[in-house]
């Protein structure tokens, strides 16, 4: 039971991570402020590493 719950939560976690990554990429493309764009780039790093299951 616990194994199944963990699996479901893990799957949902990756969906949420993907959602936030898409949202960050979207605001990155839209913004005209260079400083904000740099900030969005840095924020993307952990999301990308998680989605690729590297960290």
Partner 1 sequence: MKDKTNIIKFGFAAIVLCAVGIAGYLFHEQRVYREPVVVSENITEVKKLSDYYDGVKGTINDCNIYIFDSGVPGGTMMLMGSNHPEEPTGVMACNMFIENLKVTQGRIIVVTRVNTSGSTCTRPGEAYPRYFTQDTEWGEKKWRMGDRIGSPLDSWPDPEVYIHYPSGLNLAYMDIRNTNRNWPGKPDGLLTERTCYALMECIRQEGVDMTLDFHEAELEYPVENMIVVHQKAADVGAMVSMMLTSQTFDVPLSVDFSPEALHGLTHREVGDYSDAASYLAEVAEPMLDRIRGITDEELLMSGKDRFVMEAGKHGLLYSPMDENGWPIEKRVARHVETARKIMEVNGTVHPDQVITFEGIPSYQEILDNGCGPYYHDPSTAPADRVFYD
Residue 21 CB, shortest distance to partner 1, in Å, is 12
- Answer for the pair 15, 38: CB distance below 8 angstroms, yes or no: no
Residue closer to partner 1 (CB basis): 19 or 27: 27
Residue 9 CB, shortest distance to partner 1, in Å, is 6
Residue 29 CB, shortest distance to partner 1, in Å, is 9
CA distances from residue 46 to 1, 2, 21, 43 in whole angstroms, order as listed: 29, 27, 9, 7
Q: Which residues bind partner 1 (CB under 8 A)?
A: 1-3, 6, 9-10, 13, 28, 31-32, 34, 37-38, 41-42, 44-45, 48-49, 52-55
Question: Running DSSP on this structure, what letter comes out for residue 52?
Answer: T
The C-alpha atoms of residue 7 and residue 13 are separated, in whole angstroms, by 10
């Amino acid at each position: 039971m616990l194994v199944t719950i963990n699996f479901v939560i893990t799957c949902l976690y990756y969906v949420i991570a993907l959602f936030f990554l898409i949202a960050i990429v979207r605001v990155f493309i839209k913004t005209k402020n260079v400083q904000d764009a740099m900030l969005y780039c840095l924020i993307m790093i952990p999301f990308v590493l998680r989605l690729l299951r590297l960290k």
